[in-house]
Amino acid sequence: MTITITAFERSPDRGKGLARDMRVRWALEEVGQPYEVRLVSFKAMKQAAHLALQPFGQIPTYEEGDLTLFESGAIILHIAERHPGLLPDDAKARARAIAWIFAAVSTMEPVIVDRETARYLEGKESWYEERLAYVNDRIRKRLGELSARLGDADWLDGNFTAGDLEMVSVLLRLEGSALLDEYPNLCAYSARGQARPAYKRAFEAQKAVFLAVSAGGQ
């Protein structure tokens, strides 16, 4: 059955792979599932046809036969449960890997997104730098805890899982800030994720969208 996901027609990250379709692409590449991509404009995302798939008017979505999903974490869990390669067979190890997916999106990502939101919405305020210091400290707290748990292991719990895929994707949102550099084992962890052939294929695929739009002079 054909899998179709949605992605930005013009991603604001200009091909850096930071939008959440990248995680879904990466998961599909890890399990060797071909997929199609429907590009949506910001205008189309807020219109009825897309809202029927994604009630908040966002990307990514996932369609497979009569199944439609939204929320990248749920999509990744669905892919990981349906195809071998992203979750261990052992039931307890599988449950722990799923816990790491949730840890990435609900414990780590909110503090990181808060930093981005502060920059976009409050960057010009006189108190921005002061607020940023607090936001950065909240991120450092989480990075320190994650760093302590990872230690010198390659992945969070044994072999690479969907939990690592989600966690590396979240850490990537810190690229360009110096925060991650304070935690060498997390830098190495992120680099290991990005070195995976499936990550590279997914990255090139999303970058091709940006290059095509740029070449079209749009």
Closest distance to ligand GTB from the beta carbon of 30 (Å)? 18
Give the footprint of ligand GTB on residues 42-61 (CB under 6 A): 45, 57-60
Q: Which amino acid is at 16?
A: K
Closest distance to ligand GTB from the beta carbon of 82 (Å)? 18
| Contact call for residue 72 and ligand GTB (CB under 6 A) | yes
Residue nearest ligand GTB, Cβ-based: 58
| Contact call for residue 13 and ligand GTB (CB under 6 A) | yes
Window contacting ligand GTB (CB under 6 A); options: 18-26, 82-90, 159-167, 208-216? 18-26
Q: Which residue has the tokens 């189309």?
A: 44
Measured CA to CA, the distance from residue 17 to residue 190 in angstroms comes to 14
- Order of all β-strands in the sheet with 3-8: 36-40, 3-8, 61-64, 67-70
Q: Which residues bind ligand GTB (CB under 6 A)?
A: 11-13, 18-20, 45, 57-60, 71-73
